[in-house]
Amino acid sequence: MTIAERIMARHSSANTSRSGICKALTVALLFTAATGLQAKMDDARVYEPVAPTIDQARANILIARQLQFTHFRDLGMSDELSGDVFDAYLEYLDGQRIYLTQEDLNKFDRVKTQLGSALKTGQLQPGFDIYNLVQQRVIDRLRFALNLVGQGIDQLDFNRNESILLDRSDASWEADQQALDELWVKRIKNAVLAQRLNGADDETIEDNLQRRYEGQLKRAYQARSEDAFQAYMNAFTGMWDPHTSYFSPRTSENFNINMSLSLEGIGAVLQSDNEYTKVVRLVPGGPASKQGQLQPADRIVSVTQEDEKAVNVIGWRLDEVVDLIRGPRNSVVTLEVIPANASDETITKAIAIKRDEVKLEEQSASKDVIELERGGSDYKIGVITIPTFYADFQAMQAGDPNYKSTTRDVRKLIAELEQDGVNGLVIDLRNNGGGALHEANDLVGLFIDQGPTVQIRNANNDVQVLNDEDPSIAYDGPLVVLTNRMSASASEIFAGAIQDYGRGLVVGSQTFGKGTVQAVRPLNHGQLKITQSKFYRVSGGSTQHKGVIPDIEIPSRIDKKRIGEDALDHALPWDQIEAVPHTRYFDFSGIIDELRKRHDERFATSPEFGLLQQEIDFLKKQREMDSVSLNMDERKNQHEQIERTRLTIANARRELRGEAPFESLEELEDWQDQQAADLDTTDDELDFVIREGGDIMADMLELDQHMASILTPQQYAAQTPTQ
């Protein structure tokens, strides 16, 4: 045990009168040791502050003008805005409040109220001063961490009744250097505990932590002027809305950092999230989507190439992480991620993904058939899954009469299903993040006569109405549309139009709520992606923020507090404009209560839903944990309880599939490793949510027949003009 640790051990049992002295001695000794050792190993490196360039100042002025005069939101440059930009900037640079102290923040009290006017005129130095201070504090912290690990983690005491806050984004800033030192001792203890509980020995843990902190330290010394400018501009542009952002010249080359289509990668959209790189969404048909383990909101900890050591990417720039993940086609990259549902950021899993291009045919719509019995009648329900709204623009422009698009493919699938004699149709839009707007417009047209499909309002309050001009209808039978939280943009336009027209029922969970339109505008230095208009349904309500609310709800594992437009800071609000004339094809008010009742009764006895609800409750309990113990015995008990629950849920799912249960957690993890190594874990079996969509459709058909038998022909025709 080091002198500092012995003092801390005494401090934990000391009386109140001695606690302040012990605390001061502990921090002083730890800091002195850290400084001394680091001076030996790193005395040659000095942080060089970054400074703004003339090109950046000019770009800043152009950005400010664009925001003020062309953005959808009318937001002035006020003192209040200055404070909000300051807070957002610190959120980006030190979102977990682990580098700066309250003493540091006090130095910027005067600057905090002046950022708005400075940004308006291209005065970037205040933002760069803040950036440089944070970088220096990052270096100080990492030096401290390296020293502590270098002394040997066996010197740390895990017998105390201590805990650490998992999410410090709303915590108070630590008062001074001493308090921050104590916090970092706890952070390192937490990292050590997590790896010990995962079976790593102390030598491996020390090596892992040293490589992690040395990698972050190297990045901190390599800070560039462009890093500071992009961070500062995004804190500024984010005041208008979360989809307005600045792209540096390098980032502009990889617009949206989207590793998809012609780019060889894993098919994922990534973004920075404090020190981490976070998965925003998966590209349908892409390698990650097909492999099945990577999920939205997972955070990437390390990247491993074939036959190489893992590279820790915490603290890396987004473009560098993307470059590391990309690679030759058919090669394998392994991502170590913190799962979105992890109880704390020390829980990770490895996911192996084979790189490939995302082929258009693998994003194409597909069909299936469900056969059901209801009230003595047999029903065949067609299912069409649409992963994205796509169109082969090159083939279209070349005049290819067989070019692929969502609408053309769905029309063909409908014709094939009708030849099979289906009685109803389910459209699955779950995890469909959108795509080509004109395809959403045309797809609505397959199910309605001529009419409006969506309204688009710009910053000048001018409203454009998109219409289906084709009077033909590809399918006029009963319809169910499945959605979830990852259904966004064009998916919401389609689902909202089907709901407004009374053309079908929306089933599932509330959609994402992305109801804005962006344009990319060139600057003298980089580009600005700016929100310029907003989508509205034909009934007048926006899809922004609220999304589409399903007629029949099915719970989801996805945490709505973390994923969705309403989970984003400064998101544009929901509002409404005038509705446009549109036909109501069916009034579901007479049967919706009975449909919901039958749905609830099925789910009350459904083993699949029972398991889903068990998972949701488990994940909710995990997310509600705001701290974890640093006591070894207590943490081990908590860890074992979580793992037992994981095993129970995994075995329950295997039982539903008629598979033998795992005897132990080790057996489960070995199986998961095999699945990851297999690189193709797709499950072709129709999931129970699709089957429930089919059951709801069968209920609709049965109730429709019942209504037809009790209503007069005139009443029935008035209620169901196109059925």
- Torsion (CA) 260, 264, 265, 270 in degrees, nearest 10: -40
Q: Which pLDDT value is given to residue 253?
A: 58
Q: Which pLDDT value is given to residue 44?
A: 63
- For residue 5, give the nearest of 155, 187, 161, 230 by alpha carbon: 155
Question: CA-CA distance, 135 to 191, in Å (whole number)?
Answer: 22
Task: Write the pLDDT tens digit of every residue in 41-92.
Answer: 444 689 999 999 999 999 999 999 999 999 999 988 777 899 999 999 999 9
Q: Which pLDDT value is given to residue 675?
A: 61
DSSP strand pairing (332-338 vs 505-508) = unpaired
- Residue whose token pair is 């839903």: 609
Q: Which pLDDT value is given to residue 377?
A: 85
**Is residue 266 very low, low, confident or very high in pLDDT (cuts 50, 70, 90)?**
confident
- For residue 292, give the nearest of 685, 654, 679 by alpha carbon: 679
Contact 332, 354 (CB under 8 A): yes
Task: Write the pLDDT tens digit of every residue in 417-430.
Answer: 999 999 999 999 99
- Torsion (CA) 411, 415, 418, 423 in degrees, nearest 10: 0
Task: Write the pLDDT tens digit of every residue in 561-614.
Answer: 889 999 999 999 999 999 999 999 999 999 999 999 999 999 999 888 888 888
Question: CA-CA distance, 31 to 143, in Å (whole number)?
Answer: 10
Task: Dig out the tokens for 502 from the structure.
Answer: 């009374």
DSSP secondary structure letters along 511-527:
-----EEEEEEE-SSSE
Task: Write the pLDDT tens digit of every residue in 613-642.
Answer: 888 888 888 888 889 999 999 999 988 888
Q: Which pLDDT value is given to residue 181?
A: 96
Q: Which pLDDT value is given to residue 233?
A: 97
Kindly tell me if the per-residue pLDDT of 347 is higher than 80: no
Looking at 376-504, which runs of residues are DSSP E strands? 377-385, 424-428, 451-458, 463-468, 479-483
Contact 56, 203 (CB under 8 A): no
DSSP secondary structure letters along 67-118:
HHHHSSS-----HHHHHHHHHHHHHHHHTTS-S--HHHHHTTHHHHTTHHHH
As annotated, the active-site residues are: 489, 500, 514
Kindly tell me if the per-residue pLDDT of 26 is higher than 50: no
Contact 211, 175 (CB under 8 A): no
Q: Which pLDDT value is given to residue 124?
A: 97
Helix (H) or strand (E) holding 693: helix 688-710
Measured CA angle at 329 (ends 324, 335), to 5 deg: 40
Task: Write the pLDDT tens digit of every residue in 90-144.
Answer: 999 999 999 999 999 999 988 999 998 899 999 999 999 999 999 999 999 999 9
Q: Which pLDDT value is given to residue 719?
A: 52
- For residue 264, give the nearest of 333, 351, 362, 311 by alpha carbon: 333
Question: CA-CA distance, 559 to 649, in Å (whole number)?
Answer: 19
DSSP secondary structure letters along 203-253:
HHHHHHHHHHHHHHHHHHHT--HHHHHHHHHHHHHTTT-TT-EEE-HHHHH
Contact 486, 512 (CB under 8 A): yes
Spell out a b/e string for 473-494, using b for 16 or more CB atoms within 10 Å of the CB, else e: ebbebbbbbbbbbbbbbbbbbb
**Is residue 466 very low, low, confident or very high in pLDDT (cuts 50, 70, 90)?**
very high
What is the pLDDT averaged over residues 672-693?
66
**Is residue 712 very low, low, confident or very high in pLDDT (cuts 50, 70, 90)?**
very low
Q: Is the dihedral of CA 49, 54, 59, 62 positive or negative?
A: positive
Task: Dig out the tokens for 580 from the structure.
Answer: 């446009």
- For residue 670, give the nearest of 367, 379, 350 by alpha carbon: 350
Looking at 459-564, which runs of residues are DSSP E strands? 463-468, 479-483, 505-508, 516-522, 527-536, 552-553
How many residues belong to the chain?
Answer: 723
Task: Dig out the tokens for 215 from the structure.
Answer: 């990698």
Question: CA-CA distance, 544 to 100, in Å (whole number)?
Answer: 36
**Is residue 678 very low, low, confident or very high in pLDDT (cuts 50, 70, 90)?**
low
Kindly tell me if the per-residue pLDDT of 261 is higher than 60: no
Helix (H) or strand (E) holding 195: helix 177-197
466 strand-pairing partners: 454
Phi–psi pair at 301, nearest 5 degrees: -100, -45
- If you ran DSSP here, which 8-state letter would residue 349 be given? E
Average of per-residue pLDDT values in the chain: 85
Contact 340, 278 (CB under 8 A): no
Question: CA-CA distance, 453 to 440, in Å (whole number)?
Answer: 9
Q: What percent of the chain has pLDDT over 90?
A: 56
